[in-house]
Structures are given as structure tokens and as C-alpha cells.
Chains A and B, each alone.
Chain A
Amino acid sequence: MPSIAKPVATHPSQQRNKLGLTLRDYEGSMSTLCAGCGHDSITAAIVRALWEVSMAPEMLAKMSGIGCSSKTPAYFVRGAHGFNSAHGRMAAISTGAAAANRDLTYIGISGDGDSLSIGIGHLCHAIRRNVRMVYVIENNGVYGLTKGQFSASANVGSTSKRGEPNQMLPIDPVMLGLSIGATFVARSFSGDKEQLIPILKAALAHRGLALIDVISPCVTFNDHSGSTKSYQYTRKHITKATETDFVPPATEILASISQQDVTAVTLHDGTVLRLKSVPPHYDPKDRATVMAYLSEHESRGEIVTGLLFLDESVPDLHELNKSASTPMTQLPFEKLCPGAAELARFQEAFR
């Protein structure tokens, strides 16, 4: 089916952001996903978050692989370039893109098949390199486009639509990220925009790879009673570890969450994140206690959500590389080519 352009209708009363753009300016073409798909809710949250932070559309790069989730970059910010690439390769392609142009904001949309099976190696290494990008895994435990096979994130005992139980242990992207040094790890639920939008905004300001696992039920293949990634199951078992308040740089801090058990983290660009720990003494800056907390709760079948871990001290890809502050794509040729005289001099070493 060809893509469907969405009619752009702007109501004069619609609010405009700092760039003078309305929410509608951050939309894309019409979604071709199933009605009620969790992914569409995530798209809506992304639209909102990007509008709220006044992201200039042309400075955004929308990256994806292949799968239901990977179709979604077409559904937001039509004024941004998108790259709907190959199955599992989004992280590698984004790494190269980010290496070439450090001025763009990268948002990668992936799924559990794309990121936890075929592309898990690339995800791990993008985390290790701390590529500056928002990395969203729209996690539904199932392969949708190929009609309902289990993915690597399916829980033991979770059944397919046909009733077969999954017997293999799941790969949890949150624990994976934490164990290999991810600097920003969050989990949310597609049905909880209140929580997801501030997490996305925080992720956009993070210097490094911001990994966000979003439970996103598949209404067609995995929203039944035997599934642990259904709307019903997720709503019932959700546990919040933190609540996030996003304070942009140079803005007066207006705390909308109570001061008790609040951890304030200043991001590289001056943004202040205020994380309220719902359980007392949860420390989102301490990797070991976060992992212990998650293990404990997940063994009880609870899905812990929130901005779970944050470390702003780790250098990103360009800091590790000591890259020029000018993007590689904008360096003038004269700076790159040593010229004829130098070539002659250089070759003296080959005599």
C-alpha cells in the first residue's frame, strides 16, 4: 500500500512553540499500523515531546530498521529526514550518521525483534560508544509484520495467540543496557503519555545514548490473556520507580513534584532533571542498586518504569574521539587535503 499523506489542518487557536510551530507541524504521514497499536501512542508522545522542546524539524534525523516499529518515523515530523534502513542495522547506521554530523539530534525507533535479536550486537556497541541519540525500543514481545512469532523479549510462560507457551528466558533491554554501561536507561508504557513525554524530553537532552524501553502492546498478535505484554497485564503489574520533571536550561525551576526523595541531575546542556523516586531512597545514579531493585521487582512479576538510571559523566562518541566541534560534513576541503607540496614531502619517507 502506498503511503498516505495526512491532511494538514491548522486551527488558529492551536498553540505555537518557540519556533512558531504547532503540534501538527511535528506530525508525519498517516499511520498504517493496526488500530489501537501501542506504537501509535508512542508516536503521539514523540510528537508532543519534540514540539515541547521546540526541536527544529530539519535538525532531527529519524532512524529506524525494519518492523512495525520501524515504520513509525514516517508518522512524525515530516520536515525531518528519515532513514527506514535494514532489519537490525539502525544502531550501526545511526553511529555512522552521528559520526558524520554531530549537530543533528538522532532519534532511533526500533522494536524488540530489530534490537534484541537481529540487531542486538549493534545496539550493545552503540551503547558502548555512547552514541548521542534517543533509542526507543517499542517492545511488544512479538514479531508483528511476520504474524506473531515470539521475540526475544517474550516472557517465559507467555503464550502466543495460538496458545503455545514461550519457554526461553527473555532478554530485558533495560538490564542489558545497565549491564554494559548504558548512560541513560528508562522504561515506560505506551499507554502512559504522562510518564513517557518527560522521559523523551530528558532523553533528547542527554549527552549519550538514551535507551528507552517502551512496553507497547500488539493489539493483533499479543493482546490476549496469556500475554505478559498486553494492555491489561501491563496496567496491572506496573510499578513506578521514578517520576521525571524536566526543567529546560535557563528556566526557573518550577517543581511540579514534591521535594521528598528527589534527585536533581543537571544534563550537559544545562537542562535539569528532577527525578522523584517513588520508592524511598531509590538512587537513579547508582547502577548497582538500580539493577538490584529491578531484579527484585521483576522476580515478583512487576514491571518497573520511569527514568531508571542516569549517568552524565561518561564521554560520548565524539568526546572519546576528540572530534572537531564542527561536524565532519561541514569541514572545508582545504582543511582535509594536505596538498601537492606535502605529498611530495611525505613521499621522501618512501625512498
Chain B
Amino acid sequence: MQPYLRSRINDFAIKLANVNGTGSASANGLLMQAVFRMGLPVSGKNLFPSNIQGLPTWYEIRVNKDGYTARALDYDLMVAMNAQTYARDIREVTSGGYLLYDSSWPLEPSLRRDDVHLLPIPLAQLCNEKFTDSRQRILLKNIAYAGALIAFLNIDMPIVEVLLDERFSGKAALRDLNHQALHIGYEYAREHFPCPLPFHLEPMNENEDKILIDGNTAAALGCLYAGATVAAWYPITPATSLMDAFRDLCSKYRRDPETGSNNFVILQAEDELAAIGMVVGASWNGARAFTSTAGPGISLMNELLGLAYYSEIPAVVFDVQRVGPSTGMPTRTQQADLMECAYASHGDTKHIVLFPANPAECFEFAVKSFDLAERFQTPVIVLSDLDIGMNDWVVPRLTWDDSYRPDRGRVLSKQDLERLPAFYRYTGEDPQHVAARTLPGIHRTGAYVTRGSGHNKFGEYTETPAEYQEVMDRLARKHKAAAAFVPLPKVRSHPEAQFGVITIGGCDPAVEEALDLLEDRGVYAGYMRICGFPFHKTVEEFLYSHDRCFIIEQNRDAQLRSLLTLETCVPKTRLRSILAYSGFPLSARHVIDGILAELESDSAIHR
């Protein structure tokens, strides 16, 4: 048996292999939250199947005192609760690591590894002795292994007890059962194994001003705070929880306490064609409206995104990306909708797209998206992904400025219209090339027919070449002007940079970690994370200030790189791709290996 060589405090990763639909999510979430409350930097990645019950599901928890919370690929401890996946789960344990398994049944000798320590606990047997209800036995078995992990990892038991109290407040019987199960595992571990393991937790104080939240909830909160009143959607993984959260928030904050009436309308549409149609209709009328969807929904929404673009109607769309093409892998993460969103719809169309990197930015960019959509009278797509949207992230507490008022853009009031002899929809552009709009129900002078067919600047139907082109040219100028208003790229330049590294969205933690590790090896890079499209001018400046740039993204076809080659003048040859698109969140190792391989091939050429 290999000894566990490193005694690491607050720096390890564990992986829990479960069968989905058995209640493991609750136990795993409990552990994650307990670690968070101990004040430690932590992340949890749920790698789940597109299924309700019976298929393999994994949960990974990484603790890192230095704050690196991207996905780890080496697991110091594997909790193997799924016989279907024992073989591959055991393979993933780091040499000298540990394997906790349910020893109610013997472990197949062929599955043993000499360099892995075994932690056999007869969880099923212990729970069967203690609990009578068969469904409860399955659920509580998970809580029992959580109990064992509390002992093994030195998780603070009083914190877990408080969490149980909070979760089961008003359900004393259930709380009691969970408490018992927790202690079954805890006591067994303490009696049979040396606790804690060489790697374990010590309390820190990193989370005072932090919260543990998923991106979909944070985005919904942003929509609430931005004053969105109409939401339309069609159920789709991984975007569904965004609208679920919005509904919950509205029930809490948008219901008149006296009359019980709702200051919101949520429409579950018949399909995504309708969902975006409802958003366009509501926005046309002047409401802040949005939809949430994933790639397949964006495909369907292309048609009306073009209508909204051409007729200049605001619309906010959240695309929580999953793995494509087609149905793809609905419960896996990817960044492969970039090109589709940037130029959604037929004809010459281009959109404003925002790239949040974590739940805090989902909140911030959600608010921003409504302001931009109304300021520029055009669709804004917020491009999140499954990893950001559905996993819990530790982020700084969200803040709000009470002086915020929505930027409604150029909308003529009744008084404005009373003073006007006549109104023409697409005339009188401002410096951003936006013309004033009117809303129905205000004044008949403002009336016009909104149309997706050819129109001139007066809003009238046209097939006259010059009139058509005049409007299209202004739309192009308007899109360009939006570049100065999208969130600025986050740039960290390095005085000795040998190359530049560019990424978007949820790749951020893995890339940041990789760059630090490379720096330890004497490899220096400038770093830019792009936050919006059209590209702010600093994007092109960054590209030109580095001879080579590595573009790290989670899709096969290097879509961010394509977008950069299309929308900037930088030579294509200076932009290299490092791609990871198999469906799991990016880890620092992908980035380091990718960059080192590129550097090596460059030096081989120069030799």
C-alpha cells in the first residue's frame, strides 16, 4: 500500500459517484455548504445525466485555500456509491488516495488498486438495521456517507447540525432521521479508521462577504431587480431553473400583499418560437421582457430575433449553453452557441451578446442586458452555460445601488408627441444611431406600423433600394456603437508577457489558475477575458499588443477565434486555439497542457 505522501490541509478534491434519483444531491449539497460555512474557498460540480432515475451521476467538491476553484481532475477521495461505475471511479483516484465504498457487499478483487487506501463502510447494512422504510433507507444512506466524510475530512459537526436544523425547520421527524443517519456514518468512521485523513479541512475566514449561489438564480435575481415584468419560456435543460427562480422571486416580491394580484406575468409558451414572440410583443408594448433557453431554443428563436433586430425592438434572451449540436448532451456544459448568437437569423443581422463568467456576473449582466436592449432597441443575448447556471459558486455578495433607474432608451412621452407635428419611426438618430420609438397606447401621433418587411426611415413599407439600404446601414452603425457600452474586457497585462491568453465566460477560473501555475514555471502571459460583443476597442488593442494569442474556449470549432478574426483586423495566424469541448467544466490542466504543447511546437519550428 502506498502511503499518502502529502499531508494537505485545505487543498484537495473529492468525487462522489452516485445513482441519480436516490437523493444524493441533498447529501452532497449539505457537504458543500458546510465547507463553505467553514470559511473555505470551495466549488461543487454536478456532473449529472439527462435522466430522472437510475443512471450514474457524480459530484465533485474541490477545496483550495488559495482560492482556485476550477474543476480538479485528480481526486484524493472517491466515494463510490454506484456499482455500475466502480471500475472507472477507482481508476480516477490519485495514487495514494482513498476510496470509500459500501462494504455491505464485497468489493470485486479485480477492482482493487494497490496504491489506493480503502475505506469500507457497510452503509446499506447499517441503514437497514436502523430504518424501516425502504425509500428512507436509500435516501439516508447518502446522509450516512456524508456523516463519514465529516469525520474523515474534519468538517465542523456543529455547522452541519445547524444546516440540518435550517433545512428541516418545522419537520422535526425528518430532521431527526437525518441526524441519526449522519451519526451512523460519523461514528462508524471514527471507530474503524484514523480520522481525519491526511488531507482535511481547517476552518478559514474567506467567506464572510461571500455567498454560495448558482448562475441561473443570480440571473433571475437580476431580472427581478431590473424590473422585468413579462417572462416567457419553454422548458429546457439547463435553463429551466432560471425561470423557476424568477417565478419564486416574483411570488415573494411581486405579489401585492393586500390584493394578492401579481406585478408580473410568466408565460409558459408552446415552444421557443412563441416564447421569443411573447417577449417581442411585450417589449414592443414597452415592458421589460425576457426569455431563458438553451441552444435548441436559440435555433428556433432565430426567426424572431431577426424581426426584433430589423424592426428595432428590445428583447433579452438568456442562453444557458449546453452541449450541441442538435439535442446533444443536455446536461453537459459547452460554449458552442457563440456564432449562432452573434449573428442569429437570416439576412444581415448582428446582436449584442454578453458573456458572464460566474453567478455574480449573471446578476450584473442581467441588469445590464435590459439597459442595453432598451438603449439600443435590439435583442441582447446573455450567454451563460450549464456550469455557471446550475452549479453553486462562491462569489462576493451581490450589491445593489438604490439610485439605479432603468435606462429605457429613447421613448417619446405623451408630452413629446403632443408637441410633434408628425412622427417618423426611424428618423432623428442620436450619436449611437438610435432613433426614438413610441409605445402603443400613448398618443395617436406616435402611431406607425412596425414591420419586419422592407421599410424606409419613416417606417413605411419600401422596396426602393436606397431607402432599404439607408436603414440597414444605420443598423450596422448602431451595432458598432454598442461596443463602447458592453461590459469592458477584464485585462491583466504582464510586463514580460511571452504571449496573450484570451477566453470568455466560465473558463475564467481554470485559465487564471493555469496562468499562475505557468508563472511558477517562468512562463508569462497577458490575460484578457472578453465580456461582450460587439468587441470593445480594448479587445483589438490586446490582440495587437501580443505576437501570439492563445484563445481558450469550450467548443470544437474555435468560435471565439472565428469571431475575433471576423470582427477585428488582427491576422488570423496570430490567434491559436486551445479547445476543450467534451462537456465537463474546464480544468487548469487542459489549459496548461494546451499552452505548453503549442509553445513546444513553436520552439521545435524555430530550432
Residues of A within 8 A of B (CB): 1-3, 57-59, 61-62, 66, 73-74, 78-86, 89, 91-101, 103-104, 121-122, 124-125, 129, 317-318, 321-325, 327-329, 331, 333, 335-340, 342-344, 346-347, 350-351
Contacts and interface: CB of A to CB of B under 8 A. Distances in A.
A318 B274 CA distance: 18
Contact of A92 (B212, B278, B450): B278
B229 A84 contact: no
B357 interface: no
Given A81-B448, A81-B450, A338-B253, A89 B397 contact: no
A321 B250 CA distance: 12
B395 to A, nearest CB: 9
B443 interface: yes
Interface of B: 36-37, 211-213, 221, 224-230, 232, 253-254, 256, 259-267, 269-271, 273-275, 277-287, 289, 303-304, 307, 397-402, 404-406, 438-444, 446-453, 456, 460-464, 467
A82 B277 contact: no
A124 B271 CA distance: 12
Contacts of A89: 273-274, 277, 303-304, 307
Contact of B307 (A61, A85, A96): A85
Contacts of B467: 2
Contacts of A331: 229, 263
B398 A328 contact: no
A74 B449 contact: yes
Given A329-B287, A347-B211, A95 B227 contact: no
Contact of A338 (B224, B446, B451, B460): B224
Contacts of B402: 339-340
Contacts of A340: 399-402
A328 B282 contact: yes
A86 B263 contact: no
14 contacts: A2-B464, A83-B449, A85-B307, A89-B273, A92-B269, A95-B281, A96-B280, A99-B287, A121-B273, A122-B274, A321-B265, A335-B263, A339-B400, A346-B221
B437 to A, nearest CB: 10
A78 B227 CA distance: 32
B274 A95 contact: yes
B441 A59 contact: yes
In the A-B complex, the 10 residue pairs with the closest CB atoms: A96-B281, A92-B277, A96-B278, A79-B444, A100-B287, A97-B281, A82-B449, A92-B274, A81-B440, A100-B282
Contacts of B447: 57-58, 78-82
Given A96-B289, A101-B287, A351-B212, A324 B262 contact: yes
B282 A99 contact: yes
A343 B262 contact: no
A309 to B, nearest CB: 23
B440 A104 contact: yes
B262 A321 contact: yes
Contact of B230 (A81, A96, A337): A96
Contacts of A318: 265
A332 to B, nearest CB: 9
Given A58-B440, A81-B440, A89-B304, A97 B260 contact: no
Most buried by B among A82, A85, A331: A85
A221 to B, nearest CB: 21
B224 A2 contact: no
Contacts of A84: 449-453
B277 A2 contact: no
Most buried by B among A1, A73, A97, A347: A97
Contacts of A317: 265
Contacts of B453: 66, 84
A113 to B, nearest CB: 16
Contacts of A57: 444, 447
A78 B221 CA distance: 40
Contacts of B229: 100, 328-329, 331, 336
A94 B283 CA distance: 11
B284 A93 contact: yes
B265 A3 contact: no
B269 to A, nearest CB: 7
A329 B286 contact: yes
B460 A3 contact: yes
B460 A336 contact: no
Contact of A100 (B213, B269, B275, B281): B281
Nearest to A88: B273
Given A122-B273, A338-B225, A58 B443 contact: yes
A118 B562 CA distance: 34
Contacts of A125: 269-270, 274
A351 B37 contact: yes
Contacts of A339: 400, 402
Contact of A3 (B225, B230, B273, B461): B461
B213 A93 contact: no
Nearest to B452: A86
Given A82-B450, A96-B279, A347-B397, A121 B271 contact: yes
Contact of B456 (A2, A74, A101): A2
Contacts of B449: 62, 73-74, 81-84
A340 B265 CA distance: 24
B273 A92 contact: yes
B307 to A, nearest CB: 5
A93 B441 contact: no
B463 A2 contact: yes
Contacts of B438: 81
Nearest to B403: A340
B398 A343 contact: yes
Most buried by A among B256, B287, B307: B287
B441 A86 contact: no
A292 to B, nearest CB: 29
A96 B397 CA distance: 34
Contact of A95 (B221, B277, B287, B451): B277
A28 B107 CA distance: 82
Nearest to A56: B444
Given A2-B462, A85-B452, A323-B262, A96 B267 contact: yes
Nearest to B225: A337
Contacts of A101: 285-287, 440-441
B405 A333 contact: yes
A329 B281 contact: no
A125 B270 CA distance: 7
Contacts of B232: 96, 99
Contacts of A342: 253
A61 B397 CA distance: 44
B349 to A, nearest CB: 13
Contact of A83 (B225, B266, B406, B450): B450
Contact of A328 (B265, B400, B401, B452): B265
Contacts of A92: 269-270, 273-275, 277-278, 281
Most buried by B among A78, A103, A323, A350: A350
